[in-house]
Structure formats: C-alpha cells, structure tokens
Structure 1
C-alpha cells in the first residue's frame, strides 16, 4: 500500500476513534473534562473495535509502528504515525512528538503503582505480593521475606480469627520498621463468595448424583452439601456450578423439595471429596448484597491501618457504592464473568472514588470463562488495564508447585515470566514461600532488562559472543 493511501486510512481511523471514544465515556456516567487515563481507555476500546491486522502489515513494509504497543498512548501513537506518513507522502514532516507528552500514560501508570504499592526496588519495577500463611506471623520471617524480595503483604482475614487480626498487623508493621521501609498491606473482603458446608464427607466421581441442600435434608445415602450463604444463589435447571476452582463441575438436573439434584459432569479420576470450606462458583442473584458479614469490620481496619482493600468478586459499579469513600485504595479482584464484562465501568466508578488497581484472579476466571477463553482473557485484561493506566496484579497459582512442594515446574517458570508484564505478581501461601519470593525476584529482574509490557527492550545478548 502506498504512503498516501496509508495516510488516508490512518486519518480516517483517528477521526473514528475521537468520535466514538466519548460514547464510552458517557456510558460510564462521565462528562467533560475527562480523566486522561479513562479517555485513553475509551480511545483504546474504540480503536480495538477495528481489525487492524491488514494495516499493521502494510505499515511494517515502511518500517513504521505496527500499533501493537500503543495501549498507554492511543492518541499520541496515532498522531506520531500520521506525522511520519505525511512526510513519506510528501506533505512535510512536523517533527517528533514531545517525549514527555508521548510517554505520559506510561509515567502515570508508574506513579499510580508507586502510590499504591510503594517505591520500586533497584533493578526491578514489578512488585512481589506475598500471601502470608495463617499463623506464620514471626517478625523474623516477615523480615526475611522482605529481604529476599517481598514488597507487599496480603492477608486473607476471612481465614483468620478476628482476635488474631491486631497481632498480625502489629507484626507486619514491626517487620516494615526492621526493613527500614513500610510494607504495603492488602486486606481482602469476603464479598459475595460462597463456600460449602457438608453433613458428612463424601467422595464423588463423574456421573454421580449429588444433592444441593437449600431448604431441607436430602435422603441418605445421596452425597449432599449446602452453601453457607444460600440467599446469594440463583439456580435453575441446566445451570452449571463448580467447586474448588473447577476441580468439580456439576449441572442442575431438577429442583427438589430440599433444593436441587445435581449431576457431576467433571471430577478428578480418583474422585472429589466434598469437604466443608470449598469455594463454590455458581450464578448469583442480581440482588446479592456485596458486603459480607465480616466485611464492614475489615473496612474499618483498612481505614485505620491505611491498608488497601481487595474487593473479592466485585461485579458491578453498584458494588463500589457500598464502600466508604475515604479508603486508601482498592484492588478490584476480577474473578467473575460479570466483573470482566463490566471492567471499564468498574474502573471509571472506582477511580472517581479511590486509587485503584485490579487483580487478574486466573483460578476463578478459568472456572467462569472456561480454559480457552480464560487464557485469551488474561492477555486482554493486561492490555485493558494498561490502557486505563491502572496497575495490574498477576495472581493465582504463580510458582504454586514451588511454594507448596519446594520445586517449580517448567510451565510455572514460563507463567512467572508472563507475570513480568504486570505491575505486581502475587504468590499464594505455602511452606516454601521464601524460596518462591527469591526465585520470582530473580526472574523479574532478568525479564525487566528484556521487555516492558509488550515492548521488547533489546538489551544486548551475551550468550553468543562474536567468534
């Protein structure tokens, strides 16, 4: 394609993006002057409505940008491209854009990350968040984790008795003082999370019938379980639900006087043991209240401690309106299909109220979206959050085998490398958490020299020297 034809196409594309972006902004309830980050997000969504593959390939022949790395700077990249094409088409060259303006979205993302998760370490921009094991609160352990690379502490207070909360927080503060820098803290809300209760443990396999008890007891010996918060569920015949992040998948066969009869569609080859406390993913009623029983007390604690709040299973902008407006910051945990679909509106509502990051919680997303779509969605969420200049947290099962068993798989190492494209990588708890933090620190330092987000940095390679 000739330079003039490419120039005309890029100009049409710029006009379409600028015309369509305000429609997104108005749909999110915003009015001018628009927040620059949200305006960039709206431009990105407007641009990505188009199939850009033919244009990308044509630009490559002229040695020009392929548009593949414009997430944080949509308008600036299109303008720079138009200037270059105008020069090639003989219209004259207006010169390059000011670097401060061109990279302002990238700098805004870095500043927001530092405000939420503290300053970066020398040689590593991506922070490491560690989920502390219940009861492992020795200051010496926390200090050791900080020394080998932990930057942020995550506490799941739902699994910790309330009388132990203050002691845990006191030890985190003491560890930060010993390290000479504060340890940012994330406290998870329960949100509309559902877990199961069982009258007796049972082992079930693919094809088995299982009872879901809502209003009575199923006849024995039918394996049975009940949700701890039945009022949140909205089930009908044919609906699917899963336990333990998809290890068991069941389908509603019929309504019964006690609740529902389910058919197990997928279970591990050796069976799945129904045990109390397993997480249940199932359709929720639109009227489900967002805040759980303990959540108000966690919110008060976060306000007092200056901690970030992890918003579990946040689904709609209305969920955010139940929160106090003076929170130090929130982490939107993307764990449901509805939360992903509403992410742009969630970001617009959240940023208007408090500093915001978002967690790509891949375990629950895999259950909600299915493995193929979830794998694709991980990428799309990284792009979308960068476009919104919003810090991304890469979470769920990162180096999981290493943290739990002491040695990593090769697939885990590749997954950790992928996490280097986020602002924060989260490790779950386990007996080898220290080893996990240390290895992740080394991986992130190496990858940072090679790549930032989707952009290769082209550091010199030393593995194959000139003969």
Structure 2
C-alpha cells in the first residue's frame, strides 16, 4: 500500500524560520564581537577571516534538532557550509520567506570561496595538473642526486613539489639535490616532455624536535641476516664487500635501501688472489659453517661477495678458501647497547643531553637522555611522555634535578627497544619553546635563496609564524610561501589563530603532519581531528597538505596495504598530498595520481560541523 505524505503543518515552517533566524543572529553577533581583535587590511583576507569566525561561532552551538528538522522539510541541513557560512544560512532562510538584517561581516558565496582557495593554492603549490586538482609532494634525499632517470620519471608521473628535510644533510647536499631536480626538468624540456611544468621546492625546517639522546656503545658480534621468504627460508644472497681499506666491519645500506655489509680485512692481504666464482668459508661465533661467494672484483682493495646463510661475526674470525687463501675479520664497529623496557618498568629520562643511555642494572633502572632538555622543564607529575612515535607509552612519576622518573605503561609488543634519535612527544605538557631554533635561522640563509616555500615544524602559536616572517624579511624573502605544520595538541587548539595570522601572508598553507599529531591527540582520535582541520581550513579558504605515512607500505615494499589505499584516496580532500621516500616511490606516485584522479571524478564530501576534540582557544570567551 502506498504511503500518503501529508504536507507539513504551517507552524512547522514558522518554527524553522524562527529557530534558524535566531541562530543566524547569534553567530553573527559572536563573530562580530571578536572581529576587531584580528585586524586584516587586504579585502581577500577579510573575507576569509569573517567566514572562519562565523564558522567557529556556528560550531559553538548544538543544533542537531534544527538540522534534522531542516532535512525533513527538504532544506539544507547546514552540513556543508564551511566555505560559505552566513550566505548559506541566509539562502535557507530565503526559502522560508525570512529576510536577514545587514551585517558588517563579509559573506562569500561558493564562487568567491572557490576562487580564493584555488588562488591561494596556486600561489603556494603551483598550478594543478589536468584532471587532478590535488598536487603530489615527494620527500627526496641525497640518494636520488645521481639518479636523473628516477627524477624524470617522478616528474612525468605526478610529482608537483619536492620536499627537502633540513633536519638531515647539509646545504651542500641540498644544493646538489635541487640542481639534480632542475637538470631532470631541463632534460624533459629538451625532449618535449616537460609540458612547461616547474617542480616547486619546499624546504622543511627541523624545528625543536625532541629526541632520545645517544646510547653507550659496546663491541659485540655483528649479525648479518640473509633475506628470508614468508616461510622463513633464505631466498637470495646477502651482498657485501671484503674491503682492505675499511677501518671496521659493519652493516651498511645501499641507496636503494637494501642491507649490505663490509668486512674489514688487513691491508696487503692478497685480495688479488681471489677468483670470481670461488668461495670463502668460515665458522661464525656460534660455530656454524658459513660461505661467502666471490661475485665481483670492484677494485684492487674491494671485492663484492654474497653470504648464503645468516652469520654472526667477530674480530679475528678466519675466512679461508682454495690455494691457502685466508683473511682475518677486522675490528667490529662498536654498536649502541640494547635498552629494552616492558610495561611496569621504570625508565629515567636524563636532563643532561650528553648522558649516555644505558640498560637496567642491579643498581639503576634503564636510562636515556633528551636532546632538548629545556622541554623537560614544562613536564609535571602524572603527565604522559611517548617515545618513538608512540611505540612506548610512559607517565611521569617522579621529578628530580637530574632526571624524570617514568613508569612504562605500554609497549608495541611484550617489550620494546629504545634507540637513539627517536622522537619524544609530550601530549599533556604545554611546551613553551620557540618553533624557530638557532639552527633553523642558519638554515634559512640557504632556504631564502633556493626554496619556493618553507615549512615550520612544531608550530604552537601565531608568534612562531611572525618570528619566521621577521627572519625571512631580514633575508629579503617576505614573498616566500609559509607552511605551518600542525603536529602538537597546542597547535590544534590555536589553529584558528594560526589561520587568521596566515591570511596576512602573501602565500600560506597548513600541513597536517599526522605522525606526531597521532601521538599527541591519540591514534583513535586522529580521523576526527584531521577532518576538523580540513573543515577549518576550508572555512578560511586556506590550502592544506595531507602528510605522513600516505602509501608508506607501497613506497617501502612495493605492495600497498588495503587500508592505506582507502586512506590515500581521502587525500582528494586536501590541496596536496605528501609521500615519503622509499625504494618504490615511483610506484607510489603513480598509484596516488590514479587514486586522486578517480576520487575527483566522484567527489562526494561528508561533513560534521561540531567537534569535541579541537575546541579553539583564544577566539571567544570561555562559556
């Protein structure tokens, strides 16, 4: 039997009109009440400021019942108003026969909002590609300096921006990398394949990254592990070198990321007597017979070899072959000690950055140092500290002049090892540290002359942006693009202020740095938080870069995880998606480009306008 739908009662329309008109008046008053605190002089900037303030005012109210009633009446439920808040509400009121009072606030329509967002995206990120509005940024390092073919393929297949992390290498290597990118572009142009595109360069300042300090070192047997298949059987040789000029026997990594090794042998040892195709055998520290296959004579002092089975080496082990050929293994490079912790353990976090980390002993629990001891001044009792991207969770139980005593609450697995140079996160502590460090100021001299945009790490407040602006002005580069990396809890709660400050800059954008951010806000909350950041940036008509662990498994192994494909496809919500380096980065770029093109063809956004995790400080008075 067909259901007969009755038209809504007249009072229903009146109720909706009254409720929505009152809501419009309230958010207008709220936005206008704070507008003078954020003066902007450019008309374009004022449009976005006013819309952002209106959006923030709207978020302060729970209008779920009103939204449901509007949807049932066949009108917009106000779920997609980020970019056009006041005008969007006014158009719904128009359908209800209500005229709104004039306001001093700017009220952008969808055409103006889209124009402003696209204009700012082009200024910061360059022009988009045909059929793909979302750009692709790729993190590059010195491994690609001499791989022009790879750079050309990256440029042809979708790389629009190159990111250089100033936390690694030096100006000399950065210069070589930029020259390599430009040479690849020139080569493509000469072949008529460049389409006139220029890859923009983002240089990411290291910022006050707080890491674990050095560990004490010890000499122990060196494990050389051969690659194994999923069933645990070796499937190829582990390649390395016999080297008469090497001071130590150690593991190394080739530019392609493959593990290799060097075995130091005495000078004048007679490497020239080794024949390609012959073998050397030895008894490892476990008294197991192992074989090295002679594969290539690289130079008079270096021979490439392959190890057939996992072995443990120590200094003095005899390598012996045919015709009385024999070599002794040279000194083993000292390795950091193993610092292993389990839930319930006590761990000391030393204030002295030069204090060597050590394992637990009968007299003391395990201990590590902190590379930025100033950060520890802001930590209080019962506040959490995470180590190595959240793999180890701790809480502060005791504070002394020498160290913080931590209780280990969780580890990734039954236990976890602490290594040097791993990140420390303080989600419960307000770290009043400047985002621009002394090292960053030195790096800015190079950045100002070579980069199109600069990324500021660990931003906490508008002052951090203004400090960077002043430093660049002194270097004559006030025009350079600014990217504020959102990776701390405080940056989340100051995002509105950061956005308004950025509207005064010639070129500005936000990067959602999901690695540290996930640790700060909790992995279970990351999806909600990053959605809210996207919405707030849309309200401010400000470009967004979606970063960290996008297609990371694919870039590292060549095979994507199913979940990361879905995650990468969501990147179409941003103006740019960043990929990290890996042996299979070209495959990752190709895959991401296809995903983004497909998503833009079926672009369907869903929004929630009320957020519980990212309440904004400093805009309105606390309720």
For the residues of structure 2 that align with 1:342 and 1:257, how far apart are their CA atoms? 32
The aligned residue for residue 19 of structure 2 is: 9
Deviation, 1:186, is 1.1
Mean Cα deviation higher: 436-445 or 318-327: 318-327
For the residues of structure 2 that align with 1:134 and 1:249, how far apart are their CA atoms? 33
Residue ranges of structure 1 left out of the alignment (5+ in a row): 92-99, 456-467
Task: State whether structure 2 residue 251 is matched by structure 1 residue 108.
Answer: no
The aligned residue for residue 144 of structure 1 is: 153
The aligned residue for residue 156 of structure 1 is: 165
Give the conservation status (yes or no) of the 8 Å contact 2:137–2:576: yes
Map 1:196-345; keep pairs closer than 5 Å: 196-200=212-216, 201=337, 202-215=339-352, 221=361, 222-233=365-376, 234-282=378-426, 286-323=431-468, 324-325=472-473, 326-345=478-497
Residues 314-355 of structure 1, C-alpha deviation per residue, up to 9 Å, x if partnerless? 001111221134041111110000011011111112222341
Deviation, 1:445, is 0.6
Give the conservation status (yes or no) of the 8 Å contact 2:551–2:568: yes
3-state SS in 2 of match to 1:290: coil
For the residues of structure 1 that align with 2:110 and 2:529, how far apart are their CA atoms? 27
Residues 18-39 of structure 1, C-alpha deviation per residue, up to 9 Å, x if partnerless? 1111234334455897711111
The aligned residue for residue 364 of structure 1 is: 516
3-state SS in 1 of match to 2:167: helix
3-state SS in 1 of match to 2:143: coil
The aligned residue for residue 374 of structure 1 is: 526
3-state SS in 1 of match to 2:395: strand
Residue ranges of structure 2 left out of the alignment (5+ in a row): 1-10, 100-107, 189-193, 217-336, 608-623
Q: Which of 445, 463, 466 is matched with 2:597 structurally? A: 445
Task: State whether structure 2 residue 210 is matched by structure 1 residue 194.
Answer: yes
Residues 174-233 of structure 1, C-alpha deviation per residue, up to 9 Å, x if partnerless? 233333311111111111211111323312222222221114678863322111121233
Cα separation, partners in 2 of 1:190 and 1:442, compared to 1, 3 Å:
same
For the residues of structure 2 that align with 1:105 and 1:275, how far apart are their CA atoms? 47
For the residues of structure 2 that align with 1:134 and 1:277, how far apart are their CA atoms? 20
The aligned residue for residue 424 of structure 1 is: 576
Q: Which of 60, 64, 89 is matched with 1:78 structurally? A: 89
Deviation, 1:301, is 2.3
For the residues of structure 2 that align with 1:322 and 1:78, how far apart are their CA atoms? 38
Give the conservation status (yes or no) of the 8 Å contact 2:204–2:454: yes
Cα separation, partners in 2 of 1:175 and 1:24, compared to 1, 3 Å:
farther
3-state SS in 2 of match to 1:451: coil
Give the conservation status (yes or no) of the 8 Å contact 2:125–2:200: yes
Structure with greater proportional helix content: 1
Deviation, 1:102, is 3.6
Mean Cα deviation higher: 427-436 or 235-244: 235-244
Name the TM-score, length of structure 1 as normaliser.
0.89
For the residues of structure 2 that align with 1:102 and 1:165, how far apart are their CA atoms? 41
Mean Cα deviation higher: 439-448 or 27-36: 27-36
Residues 293-316 of structure 1, C-alpha deviation per residue, up to 9 Å, x if partnerless? 321133222321242111111001
Deviation, 1:62, is 2.9
State the aligned residue count: 445
Deviation, 1:454, is 3.9
Larger Rg: 2
Give the conservation status (yes or no) of the 8 Å contact 1:190–1:295: yes
Q: Which of 18, 21, 33 is matched with 2:31 structurally? A: 21
3-state SS in 1 of match to 2:583: coil
Q: Which of 172, 177, 187 is matched with 1:168 structurally? A: 177
Map 1:55-94; keep pairs closer than 5 Å: 55-86=66-97
Mean Cα deviation higher: 262-271 or 100-109: 100-109
Residues 242-297 of structure 1, C-alpha deviation per residue, up to 9 Å, x if partnerless? 12211111112212453122111111115322211111112666542322232113
Cα separation, partners in 2 of 1:295 and 1:257, compared to 1, 3 Å:
closer
